[in-house]
Amino acid sequence: MSSLHEQLKNLGFNAPEKHDQATVEQSETPLDTSQPVRIQRQTKGRKGKGVTVIFDLPDNPDLLAEYASALRKTCGVGGAVKDGTIELQGDQRNKAKQWLEQRGFKAKFAGG
């Protein structure tokens, strides 16, 4: 009996080529991490509920959605992407700063 790969090939399906992860990342355009990213805690207009808002990330909707998803999982909270910013429920400033700095961003706290 032939392998599944051979059977699919006989049916006209070609298996995708395996790419090295480092090669794929290098081919993408590099991110501008020189501008500092601001992290702020807000409660105004939220009925007293605190939210962590991350400003000044690169203006790329796909990247923002990917980062928001990873930050939500890292912090274990809900959140969303709104108007080019990432919002996380609760006070997640320290975790968000650590996560962003691991990815090469210069993160700083903003506001009071």
pLDDT tens per residue across span 16-53: 655 555 544 444 556 667 789 999 999 888 888 899 99
Residue 9 lies in a domain: no
- For the record, the structure tokens of 100 come out as 């962003």
The span from the CA of 51 to the CA of 66, in Å, is: 19
Residue 2 in any domain: the answer is no
Is 14 a domain residue?
no
The residue written with tokens 């794929």 in the block is 24
Looking from the CA of 48 toward its CB, the CA atoms found within 13 Å total 0
Quick check: is 3 in a domain? no
Residue 89's pLDDT band, with cuts at 50, 70 and 90, is very high
- The answer to whether residue 101 is domain-embedded is yes
pLDDT digits (tens, 9 = 90+) for 45-85: 888 889 999 999 988 889 999 999 999 999 999 999 999 99
Looking at residue 3, its amino acid is S
Amino acid at 6: E
Q: How many independent structural domains does the chain possess?
A: 1
Residue 90 in any domain: the answer is: yes
Residue 23 has a pLDDT of 46
Instruction: Give residue 72's domain range.
Output: 30-109
The CATH number of whichever domain residue 76 belongs to comes to 3.30.780.10
> Within a domain: residue 53?
yes
Does residue 94 sit within a domain? yes
